[in-house]
Chain A
Amino acid sequence: MTSKYTRFDKPARAENLFLQGARVIDPRRGIDQIMNLHVRNGVLQGITSEAPAGSDVIDLRGHWITPGWFDLHVHLREPGKEVAETIATGCMAAMNGGFTGIACMPNTDPPLDDAATVKWVRSQGKPFPVEVHVIAAATRGRQGKELVEMTEIVEEGVRAFSDDGGPIKSSAVLRHAVEYSNMLGARIFEHAEDVYLAEGGSMNEGEWSTRLGVTGMPTIAEAIDVARCVLISEYTGGAVHICHVSAKESVELIRNAKQKGLRVTGEVCPHHLLLTDESCKTFDTNFKMNPPLRSESDRQACWEAFLDGTLDVYCTDHAPHSWEDKTQEFDIAPFGIVGLETALGLALTFFMEKGMGLHTLLERVVYAPREILTQPLPCIGEGEAANLTIIDPTCRWTVSPDDFKSLSRNTPFAGWELTGKSRGVIHRGFAVIQTF
């Protein structure tokens, strides 16, 4: 095994790579078998049993190779908060977590609300095997008043607009954003929150907020906005994607909307599937996020929706914050946790036992996010660009934030024992593969 492929900051070219003996899984092509893959200049070659001359042979027996994973909801802090994350370190965290594509949210400082900024952000991912997609701001400066120049931004490849970090407060502006983006084949991603109902809150409203004396954010603060999005989607025919769904009521609204055939999609994050608001009881700010960790019944509802496809996408809401910002009083510290480097391990450790098959998981993390952004889907076959995630499904490891490639360490999963780890990614002619 060559150590050429281990550098995250300067990924090697996938010039002549022979990946030997892995279980290759491509659900949409009906492939699930042990085979060798030969990648030449980033392109998959025909099946060969012998390693071609001069190729870098990598023994992947016991490993899985799937189409590249995609994280639809990521916050890179550049420009503005480079101390917490840069586009480059975000890409490295994505590679370390097994993602070949990410979509970053526009709530930087300044926000990503024009074509030039979008173009610049996309270009920063060029040296990496990670496509950086941008979800541009829906309104200028994320102020919720005037629409951004959507046509020009769509010409830069953007397919989604959002004021994430917060909702679009005005229903009139939300309606126009949905109508206008729909005309361009794009959609609105809504951070669903009624800001008046959630005002001043730091965690879910319920038994635990009462016990802890922390101001709560009720589930209906989220669900009321989901209802608004569903109604606007129905009225305008436009597509709306609900970000980081956490509440039982939201799930029911999205399920009903889908049954009516509306163009409403939703995503769920690992923390909302695996944790509840009881985790806040030590006032550890690594459990403070927005939307907050909810009650057990909300968690169960998210699971059902994730299994039955009501929630289409598995994403992380990767939200890096510096140690200084997180090491404050619970009500003062910012919302958000990092997620890129734990999402795959958490999925492989916990999702199968919940009844989610690997193929379904790949639907939620490989295909659905790209379909929502109307991007070509990766597939494993001769002549196709190699867009692959390499997984060691039996690797047992302990989440140790110090090992993250992200600049930030704010994870609630520190110390968790996981089974299953990404070993590398191949995409855009680059390859990064960890030695083992």
Chain B
Amino acid sequence: MLGLADYSSDEIQTILDTSLQMRDILDRPVKKVPTLRGVTVVNLFLENSTRTRTSFELAEKRLSADTLNFSASGSALSKGETMLDTALNIEAMKVDVVVMRHKSPGSPHFLARHLESIIINAGDGRHEHPTQALLDMLTLRDKYGSLKGLRVALVGDILHSRVAMSNIIGLKRMGAEVIVCGPSTLIPRGIERMGVEITNHLDDAIQRADALNILRIQLERQTAGLFPSLREYHKYFGVTRARLEKASSPLTILHPGPMNRGIEITSDVADSEHSVILQQVTNGVAVRMAVLYLLAGGRAEPGAQ
């Protein structure tokens, strides 16, 4: 799974349906099944992300896969080894699945050209983060029953967000409408060609959307000159209860985490009854179990399933 760009609506539907079965396993007293016994998964995290890595690791363990963690610091990559050599070494160790996080866009595609293993993209630069978009879609589907016709606004740093990119692709494919909202310097050029609406006014997005997916604002974007100050950002793009109360009906609030409370989102919003942020985390494990099962189930020991 290199990105949602390669997936049809039927395939996405299958993953979401399978995720529900996986979530049932998570609700049992013994949260473990032998489904991927004999399958070896390497978590190749060349850019740090405790959250996503933990979620994948848990998903792998719940399915009884053998897992191995590989991070950038301390690896040969920090000593100047090329990614290709790292990949070939991993392959030589006979793994089945590589879950990969890397700062270079397209790096899972690069790896897929040189490895036989199944590659799962866990975030490649600002390109895609397919399992995050799937868990966002599952969370919304839980709440609304269907994604068709739903209007979702992505708020914040669209330019640097792989979450936004995968969400746009996935939601559009499932028949939802997408609005992107942020300061003009953080809206990438040509994004309207992906079939989204653009607004620079948060109130406008709130007026029209059913759900807000609030993206993390990175502090270093300010020093890069993309917006004047965090104070100004919060004033015009921060999601607060007062702003949300102007909407005709309550909006569902999503955030991929980790949150900057008081900047892109205030605590009274993050912790409100309309926030599904913690459900997203649970759904993250279920979605990743589903993806691993659907892609690697065939490689499990006979009888494991």
Q: Which partner residue on chain A sits nearest B193 by CB separation?
A: A207
- Tell me if B165 is interfacial: C-beta within 8 Å of chain A: yes
Given A210-B190, A211-B165, A214-B105, residue A328 in contact with residue B83 (CB < 8 A): yes
Q: Are B189 and A212 in contact (CB under 8 A)?
A: no
**Which residues from A are CB-within-8-Å of B109?**
282-283
The CA of A332 and the CA of B105, in the complex, are separated in Å by: 10
Pick the 8 closest A-B CB pairs, nearest first: A213-B127, A283-B106, A207-B190, A329-B104, A213-B126, A213-B105, A210-B188, A207-B193
Beta-carbon contacts under 8 Å, A174-215 to B = 205-214
Given A211-B165, A213-B126, A216-B189, residue A330 in contact with residue B194 (CB < 8 A): no
The CA of A283 and the CA of B248, in the complex, are separated in Å by: 44
**Which residues from A are CB-within-8-Å of B104?**
329-332
The CA of A209 and the CA of B188, in the complex, are separated in Å by: 9
Given A282-B109, A329-B102, A329-B106, residue A213 in contact with residue B128 (CB < 8 A): yes
- Tell me if B64 is interfacial: C-beta within 8 Å of chain A: no
Known contacts A327-B84, A329-B83, A329-B104, then 19 further A-B pairs from the complex at CB < 8 Å, ordered by chain A residue: A205-B190, A206-B189, A207-B190, A207-B191, A208-B190, A209-B188, A209-B189, A211-B5, A213-B105, A213-B125, A213-B126, A213-B128, A213-B165, A216-B189, A328-B82, A329-B110, A330-B104, A330-B105, A331-B104
The CA of A214 and the CA of B104, in the complex, are separated in Å by: 8
Size category, B interface = 20 to 34
**Which residues from B are CB-within-8-Å of A218?**
189
**Which residues from A are CB-within-8-Å of B189?**
205-207, 209-210, 216, 218
Size category, A interface = 20 to 34
Interface centre among B5, B83, B84, B104 (most CB of A within 10 A): B104
- Tell me if B162 is interfacial: C-beta within 8 Å of chain A: yes
**Which residues from B are CB-within-8-Å of A212?**
105-106, 127
Q: Mark A254-284, 1 if CB is under 8 A from B, else 0.
A: 0000000000000000000000000000110
How far does the Cβ of B46 sit from chain A's closest Cβ, in whole Å? 10
Beta-carbon contacts under 8 Å, A293-342 to B = 324, 327-332
Given A209-B188, A210-B190, residue A331 in contact with residue B125 (CB < 8 A): yes
**Which residues from B are CB-within-8-Å of A210?**
165, 188-191, 193-194
Q: A-side interface residues toward B, CB under 8 Å?
A: 205-214, 216, 218, 282-283, 324, 327-332
| A-side interface mostly | loop
**Which residues from A are CB-within-8-Å of B60?**
none
Q: Are A214 and B127 in contact (CB under 8 A)?
A: yes
How far does the Cβ of A227 sit from chain B's closest Cβ, in whole Å? 20
- Tell me if B107 is interfacial: C-beta within 8 Å of chain A: yes
How far does the Cβ of B265 sit from chain A's closest Cβ, in whole Å? 24
**Which residues from A are CB-within-8-Å of B136?**
none
Interface centre among B5, B82, B190 (most CB of A within 10 A): B190
Q: Which partner residue on chain B sits nearest A330 by CB separation?
A: B106
Q: Which partner residue on chain A sits nearest B129 by CB separation?
A: A213
**Which residues from B are CB-within-8-Å of A282?**
109
A–B pairs, 27, beta carbons within 8 Å: A205-B190, A207-B193, A207-B194, A209-B190, A210-B165, A210-B189, A210-B190, A210-B191, A211-B5, A212-B105, A212-B106, A213-B105, A213-B124, A213-B125, A213-B126, A213-B165, A216-B189, A218-B189, A283-B105, A283-B106, A328-B83, A329-B83, A329-B102, A329-B106, A329-B107, A330-B105, A330-B110
The CA of A328 and the CA of B84, in the complex, are separated in Å by: 7
**Which residues from A are CB-within-8-Å of B193?**
207, 210
Given A210-B189, A327-B84, A328-B83, residue A283 in contact with residue B110 (CB < 8 A): yes
Q: Are A214 and B194 in contact (CB under 8 A)?
A: no
How far does the Cβ of A284 sit from chain B's closest Cβ, in whole Å? 9
The CA of A293 and the CA of B282, in the complex, are separated in Å by: 43
The CA of A368 and the CA of B91, in the complex, are separated in Å by: 53
